[in-house]
Structure 1
Amino acid sequence: MITLEPGTRLGLAIALAFTMFSVALGLKADDFSFLRNHPRRVAIGFLAQVLGLPLVTLLILMIFKPIAGIALGMLIVACCPGGNVSNLFTRLSGGDTAYSVTLTTCSSIFSAALLPFSVLFWTGLYAPTRELVNTIDLDRAAFIINTSLTLLIPLALGIFLAHARPSMAMRLQRIFIPVAVLIIAVIVVIGLASNMSLLRDFGSVILPYVIAHNALAFALGALIGFAAKFNATTRRALVFEIGIQNSGLGLLIMLSQFGGLGSGALILATWGIWHFIGGFTVLAIYRLARRNPPPIIQENTHGL
Structure 2
Amino acid sequence: MNVDDVRLSFDSGSLLVLNVVLAAIMLGIALDTSVDDFRRALRAPKAMAVGIAAQFLALPAVTWLLTLLLDPAPSIALGMILVACCPPGNISNVLTHRAGGDVALSVSMTAVSNVFAIVLMPLNFAFWGSRSDDTRALLRSVELDGLGMVVQIALIIGLPFVLGIWAAQKAPGFASRAQPWVKNGSLLALLAFIVAGLAGNFADFLDYIGLVLLAVFLHDAIALGLGYLCGWASGLPEYSRRAVSFEVGIRNAGLGLGLVMTFFDGLGGMGIVAGWWGIWDIVAGLLLATVWSRRTATRKVTA
Q: Same fold (TM over 0.5)?
A: yes
Q: 2:205 touches 2:272 (CA, 8 Å); kept in 1?
A: yes
CA contact (8 A) 2:114 2:157 kept: no
8 A Cα contact 2:99 2:293, kept in partner? yes
Does the C-alpha gap of structure 1 residues 143 and 82 become closer, same or farther in structure 2, counting only changes over 3 Å?
closer
Q: How does 1:162-173 map to 2 (within 5 A)?
A: 162-173=168-179
Return the match for 1:50 from 41, 56, 60. 56
C-alpha contact (below 8 Å) 2:56/2:120 kept by paired residues: no
- Whether the aligned pair in 1 keeps the contact of 2:98 and 2:290 (CA below 8 Å) is no
Tell me the distance in 2 between the aligned counterparts of 1:280 and 1:153.
Answer: 30
Q: CA RMSD in A?
A: 2.0
Aligned pairs for 1:170-185 (under 5 A) are: 170-185=176-191
Cross-structure match for 2:81: 75
The superposition leaves residues 250-281 of structure 1 with CA deviations (integer Å, 9 ceiling, x where unpaired) of: 22222233211122111111111111221123
Counterpart residue number, 1:297: none
Once the two structures are superposed, residues 68-125 of structure 1 have per-residue CA deviations (whole angstroms, 9 ceiling, x without a partner) of 1111211111111122122122122221111111211111111234432332222122
Aligned CA distance change for structure 1 residues 156 and 217 (closer, same or farther; 3 Å): same
Query: Which residue of the partner structure matches residue 295 of structure 1?
Result: none
Corresponding residue pairs, total: 291
- Structure 2 stretches of 5 or more lacking a match? 1-6, 298-303
> 1:114–1:148: 8 Å Cα contact kept in structure 2?
no
Partner in structure 1 of residue 301 of structure 2: none
SS in 2 for 1:27: coil
Q: Does residue 213 of structure 1 match 2:224?
A: no
Identify unmatched segments of 5+ residues in structure 1. Answer: 292-304
Which of these residues, 21, 24, 44, is aligned with residue 27 of structure 2? Answer: 21
The 3 A distance-change label for structure 1 pair 142 and 94 is closer
2:292 counterpart of 1:286: yes
Find the aligned partners of 1:76 and 1:230 in 2 and give their Cα distance.
28
Which residue of the partner structure matches residue 294 of structure 1? none
CA contact (8 A) 1:13 1:256 kept: no
Greater shift, 136-145 or 225-234, is seen at: 136-145
Q: Distance in 2 between matches of 1:147 and 1:276?
A: 22
- Following TM superposition, by how much is the alpha carbon of 1:289 offset from its aligned partner in structure 2, in angstroms? 4.5
User: Aligned residue for 1:299?
Assistant: none
**Is the Cα contact below 8 Å between 1:77 and 1:250 reproduced in 2?**
yes
What is the distance in 1 between the residues matched to 2:163 and 2:90?
Answer: 19
Q: Letter of the aligned partner of 1:265 in structure 2?
A: G
CA-CA distance at 1:236 after TM superposition: 1.4
User: 2:72 is paired with a residue of what secondary structure?
Assistant: coil
8 A contact 1:161–1:169 mirrored in 2:
yes
Structure 2 contact 191–279 (Cα < 8 Å) conserved: no
Correspondence for 1:31: 37
Q: Which amino acid aligns with 1:12?
A: L
2:94 partner letter? L
Of the three residues 140, 144, 162, the one matched with 1:156 is 162
Q: 1:258 aligns with which of 260, 264, 271?
A: 264
Equivalent residue, structure 2, for 1:110:
116
Query: Which one of the candidate residues 203, 206, 227 is aligned to 1:197?
Result: 203
Deviations 1:131-177 (A, max 9, x none): 21211222222222233234322222222112222222222222222
- Contact 2:24/2:183 (CA < 8 Å) preserved in 1? no
Residue range with higher mean Cα deviation, 8-17 or 101-110: 8-17
TM-score, structure 1 normalization: 0.88
1:120-159 pair list within 5 angstroms: 120-159=126-165
Return the TM-score normalized by structure 2: 0.89
Residues in 1 aligned to 2:168 and 2:136: alpha-carbon distance in whole angstroms: 39
- The whole-number CA distance in structure 2 between the counterparts of 1:34 and 1:18 is 25
* Partner Cα separation in structure 1 for residue 12 and residue 286 of structure 2: 38
Q: Bigger radius of gyration, 1 or 2? A: 1
Given that 2:99 and 2:291 are in contact with CA atoms closer than 8 Å, whether structure 1 keeps it comes out as no
Q: Distance in 2 between matches of 1:80 and 1:101?
A: 16
The reply to whether residue 223 of structure 1 matches residue 195 of structure 2 is no
Find 1:239's aligned residue among 235, 245, 259: 245
2:231 and 2:244 in contact (8 A); partners too: yes
Aligned equivalents of 2:89 and 2:136: distance in 1? 27
- 1:88 and 1:73 map into 2 onto residues whose CA distance is 25
Task: Quote the Cα distance in structure 2 between the aligned partners of 1:23 and 1:2.
Answer: 29
- Deviates further, 123-132 or 96-105: 123-132
Partner of 1:100: 106
